Each structure stands twice: as C-alpha cells, then as structure tokens.
C-alpha cells in the first residue's frame, strides 16, 4: 500500500494568520494570505502517494480541530513547514501529534539548512529536516533509502546525526506539476491580486544577489526550464485559476528566461494576470514590455533604504538614483509597484529612516511594505550582529512585522518600532494616496479586499 502523506501548515495557538514562504515567515498584518510555497513544490514530488493537505492557517483551525483532522486521516508521513515567526508554536503542536500517532515527521524551512543540529538535538520527535525542497530524494527517504540521502538531515537509529554536505547542485531543475487542487487556493487573498482565484507558482529558488540582511542570497540560485513552468500554468488554467503570484525571491533575475516565459505564455494562450518580485538592476524597457503583454500588472521591488551608505553596507547592489528611474519606467509601462523597505538595520539612524520614509512617498509606488530588520538565520547580518554583541545566538524567534528583537547604532528597539509605525501611517493615510487607490479600483471585489486590508492594518 502507498504511504499516506500529509502536507501540513500548522495551526497557530492564537489563530492569527502567518505566512511561510520557506525562506521567511511573518504574521499577516493586512489580511493577506497564500499557501506555503515549499509545500506546494513538495506536493509535486510526492504526487504518486496518497496525499492530503491541511492548511490550518488558511482555514483558521484551532489546535484541537487540526488534531482531529490529522488523526482521522492517520498519515504515515507528515511534512510540515515552519519558520522563525512560528517554529516554537509549530513544534509544540507537532510534539503533541507525534505522541498520538506513529508517523514519520519531516520539517521544511530554510532555518533547518543552517541549524540542523540545533533542531535535531533539541526536538527528538523530529525524524528529518528537508534541506532541498526540489529534490526527488525526499521520496527516497520516505520509501526507506536513507544513508546516502542528500536532501534530508536526520537522526540514525544509533542516535548519531546524518547531515548531508551542502553540495553544488545543478543550476536547472524540473519539478512534477504540484498538486494545486489539494490546496485551498480559493482562500488566498492579496491586495495585489487583480483577479481571483489566485495561485502561487515558484519558478526558481535561491537568489543570484547576496544582500547581507537576507538569507535567500546564501542559497544558490536555481531555476526551472520554461517548458516545465508552462506545464504547471496549463494545469492551473484548467483548474480555473485566473491570477498567478510568481513567488520566486527574484523572479526577474534572468531577463532572457523571463522574456522566453512571457513569450511562451502568450503562444500557449495562457490568459493569466500576474504579480512577481523584481530586482531594480534587472528591469529594463524590453523586459517590461514582454511582461506586460503576458498579463503582468504588479511588481514587488526591494528598495530597502533611501540611504546609499546603508545600501552599500548591506551589499544591495543598487543605487537610489537607479531605483527612482526604475519605478518611473514601471509606471510608464502601466505596472503597479510595491516597494519593500527595511526599518532598523544596524547602522541606521533616525535620519536614515526618515530619509527612507520620504523616498517611499517620492517613488509614487502603489503599495509599500515596511519590514522590521530581523536577524535571519543564515544571513551575513545575523553573524555580524552576534559578533558585535547586538544579538544572542539563541535568538531564533522573530517576525519582520512585529516588535524588533535587536537594534544597532544609536536607535533603541522602541524608536525603531515607532518609526516603522510612523512610516505606515505616513504612506497609507495620505488623502492623495487614498484617492489614487480608490480611482484605480477595477472591481467591487478589489475594493472589498482593500477595505479588509485597511481594517486589518489600522484596526486589528
């Protein structure tokens, strides 16, 4: 008999909405939600087994409700996702499940790549940690081929740990089409989505850039061939999905590849609208034209800071001037833009943060995200902060939308938090901004999502 596999997004004891995208996790402050990217990718790999998905966050299940569903399915294997915002909650729940169910428990998260020993030694009910979410060796592990497995760190029967070496992997990888129909994609919500339902598609992992505050740059950039992505998009079109969120950390990393993908989408008659993450250094007129013609309408772009010294210190690889040009170019081609900013990087002052707030207004972007700087496990910034005594190596729980866990320079955590709240108010409560948003609504559905978002942001 085929093993029964459960892909689990663990409930939170507070029933708050948390997002997990494998690299990071954070609470949703603006009522947005989408299923975890790593579980979607893994669903394709395990598609030949009997697979069930429980997304307890999307369905707002309590611990007890989720437990009842798990016990009723009685899986042989549970694959769960977690991250720095929730792993304490998630492991508490899973320990309880493991005490009631004899199953193989496998975790997926970038934190496991960098701290496998900590998690395997301190949480003996974990059977394995997935270190490569694109690897078919996950299946080998489930079916019993373990000793030379390169995708999973685990505890051997004698108690010793088997930690695969981080090897060079092929730059191009293909994936079986993920089992999107098992995920509650009709519950996905985003103010950026133009149409519903929308689904997540991941076309690459890692990132070719090496920003020092970010864990993704520590992982090799690898991507799927265009034909492999088209196969997944064709299946999503058949399911009735209207909108795609390309959830790659840096979707636009290769112009050639993205232009080829846009051309193939047009040629195959794929009529999606879509949103993606983009890097300032990669965007040019030619690529924007192709992206627009294939349904692209919104780009999420990492700006991070308005201060060039801060950008250079963290190896962002962009200039403030270039950022301004690129935002103008996106607007010229009719793209809406979301600018990501980070507030409270070590070395920041009150003045650099105020500069960043001013830039957020000057860019005339449609959305802005002001994340609190977090010491992501695996990032160069974390190592520096630990060396400088700004952070304890034991600090493993944090959330970029919550109160800071560390501060550097001459700012306190309280000041960083106050400035972040000020940034949100300054950006979103401008009458001119509210007017612009209202006049650009295309449907009642879009208006409803925006009102829900505003309510969640300002009256949680």
The contact set with ligand SF4 (CB under 6 A) reads: 207, 209-211, 214, 216-217, 249-250, 279, 302
> In whole angstroms, what is the distance from residue 196 CA to residue 432 CA?
28
Instruction: Kindly state the smallest distance separating residue 207's Cβ from ligand SF4, in Å.
Output: 3
- Give the 3-state secondary structure of residue 396: coil
Closest CA to 92 of 161, 24, 11: 11
Of the two residues 152 and 372, which places its CB atom closer to ligand SF4 in the complex? 372
Q: Are strands 152-155 and 161-162 parallel, antiparallel or unpaired?
A: antiparallel
Radius of gyration of the chain (CA): 21
Instruction: Kindly state the smallest distance separating residue 318's Cβ from ligand SF4, in Å.
Output: 9
Q: Angle formed by the axes of helices 350-362 and 413-428, to 10°?
A: 20
Of the two residues 333 and 340, which places its CB atom closer to ligand SF4 in the complex? 340
Q: How many CB atoms lie within 10 A of CB 31?
A: 19
Of the two residues 105 and 207, which places its CB atom closer to ligand SF4 in the complex? 207
Of the two residues 43 and 352, which places its CB atom closer to ligand SF4 in the complex? 352
Of the two residues 46 and 214, which places its CB atom closer to ligand SF4 in the complex? 214
- Give the 3-state secondary structure of residue 60: coil
Instruction: Kindly state the smallest distance separating residue 277's Cβ from ligand SF4, in Å.
Output: 7
CA 201 → CA 90, 197, 342, distances in Å?
25, 13, 25
Instruction: Kindly state the smallest distance separating residue 279's Cβ from ligand SF4, in Å.
Output: 5
Instruction: Kindly state the smallest distance separating residue 460's Cβ from ligand SF4, in Å.
Output: 27
Instruction: Kindly state the smallest distance separating residue 156's Cβ from ligand SF4, in Å.
Output: 34
Q: How many CB atoms lie within 10 A of CB 401?
A: 18
> In whole angstroms, what is the distance from residue 203 CA to residue 231 CA?
12
Of the two residues 199 and 373, which places its CB atom closer to ligand SF4 in the complex? 373
């Amino acid at each position: 008999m085929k093993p029964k596999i459960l892909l689990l997004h663990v409930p939170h004891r507070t029933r708050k909405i948390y997002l997990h995208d494998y690299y990071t996790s954070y609470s949703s402050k603006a009522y947005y939600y989408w299923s975890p990217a790593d579980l979607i990718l893994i669903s394709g790999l395990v598609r030949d087994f009997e697979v069930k998905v429980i997304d307890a966050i999307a369905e707002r299940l309590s611990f007890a409700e989720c437990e009842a569903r798990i016990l009723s399915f009685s899986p042989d294997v549970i694959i769960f996702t977690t991250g720095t915002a929730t792993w304490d909650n998630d492991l508490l729940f899973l320990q309880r499940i493991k005490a009631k169910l004899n199953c193989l428990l496998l975790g997926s998260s970038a934190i496991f790549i960098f701290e496998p020993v900590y998690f395997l030694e301190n949480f003996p009910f974990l059977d394995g940690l997935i270190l490569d979410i694109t690897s078919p060796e996950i299946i080998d592990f489930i079916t019993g081929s373990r000793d030379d497995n390169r995708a999973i760190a685990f505890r051997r029967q004698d108690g010793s740990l088997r930690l695969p070496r981080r090897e060079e992997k092929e730059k191009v990888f293909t994936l079986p089409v993920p089992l999107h129909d098992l995920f509650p994609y009709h519950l996905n919500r985003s103010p950026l989505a133009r149409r519903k339902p929308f689904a997540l598609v991941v076309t690459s992992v890692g990132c070719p850039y090496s920003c020092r505050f970010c864990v993704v740059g520590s992982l090799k950039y690898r991507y799927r061939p265009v034909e492999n992505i088209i196969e997944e998009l064709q299946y999503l079109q058949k399911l009735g999905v209207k909108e795609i969120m390309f959830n790659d950390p840096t979707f636009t990393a290769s112009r050639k590849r993205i232009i080829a993908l846009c051309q193939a989408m047009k040629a195959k008659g794929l009529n999606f609208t879509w949103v993606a993450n983009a890097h300032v250094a990669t965007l040019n007129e030619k690529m924007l034209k192709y992206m627009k013609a294939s349904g692209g309408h919104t780009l999420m772009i990492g700006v991070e800071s308005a201060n060039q010294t801060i950008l250079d210190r963290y190896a962002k690889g962009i200039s403030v001037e270039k950022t301004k040009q690129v935002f103008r170019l996106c607007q010229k081609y009719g793209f809406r833009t979301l600018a990501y900013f980070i507030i409270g990087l070590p070395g920041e002052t009150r003045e650099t943060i105020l500069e960043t707030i001013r830039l957020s207004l000057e860019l005339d972007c449609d959305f802005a995200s002001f994340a609190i700087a977090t010491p992501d496990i695996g990032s160069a910034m974390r190592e520096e902060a630990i060396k400088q005594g700004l952070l304890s190596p034991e600090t493993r729980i944090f959330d970029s939308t919550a109160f800071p866990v560390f501060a550097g320079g001459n700012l306190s955590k309280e000041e960083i938090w106050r400035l972040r709240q000020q940034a949100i108010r300054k950006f979103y409560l401008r009458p001119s901004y509210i007017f612009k948003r209202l006049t650009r609504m295309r449907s009642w559905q879009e208006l409803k999502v925006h009102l829900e978002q505003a309510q969640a942001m300002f009256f949680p």
